[in-house]
Amino acid sequence: MNQSTSSTPARTSHAGAGTLELHTVRIGYFQPDAHGVFVAGSFNDWDRGATPLQRDSLGGWSIELSLPSGEHRYRLVVDGDWHDDPSSARMEANPFGGFDAVMIV
């Protein structure tokens, strides 16, 4: 899995909250036999079907997310099953017997 943040963060306004700085983060996963790959995490309320990755012609899956600065935890959902991210630089055990990938934006 590849993670990278852009060098030019986007800014967005929220009523009463001022300006929130967002950073582009790319999440990638290689699984040519998968029919569907999603990312679920602290940034989408762990909704396993809310954030689909797009498949390329070689079997790689990826998505770019705009996330605020801070720590974000996530897991992959591949064909309906939870998966640890094997290429995450930082992993921490979760209470369900798996590991959450942890990225700092």
Torsional sign, CA 36, 80, 92, 42: positive
Q: Domain 10-104 falls in which CATH fold?
A: Immunoglobulin-like (2.60.40)
The burial class, CB within 10 Å (0-12 / 13-18 / 19+), for 95 is exposed
Over residues 41-55, the pLDDT tens digits come to 999 999 999 999 999
**pTM, entire model:** 0.81
pLDDT tens digits, residue range 63-99? Answer: 999 999 999 999 999 999 999 998 899 999 999 988 9
Q: Which residues contact 18 (CB under 8 A, 6 or more apart)?
A: none
Domain boundaries, the chain: 10-104
* Phi, psi at 46, each rounded to 5°: 55, 30
Take residue 77 and report the two structure tokens written for it.
Answer: 């959902």
Q: How many CB atoms lie within 10 A of CB 40?
A: 19
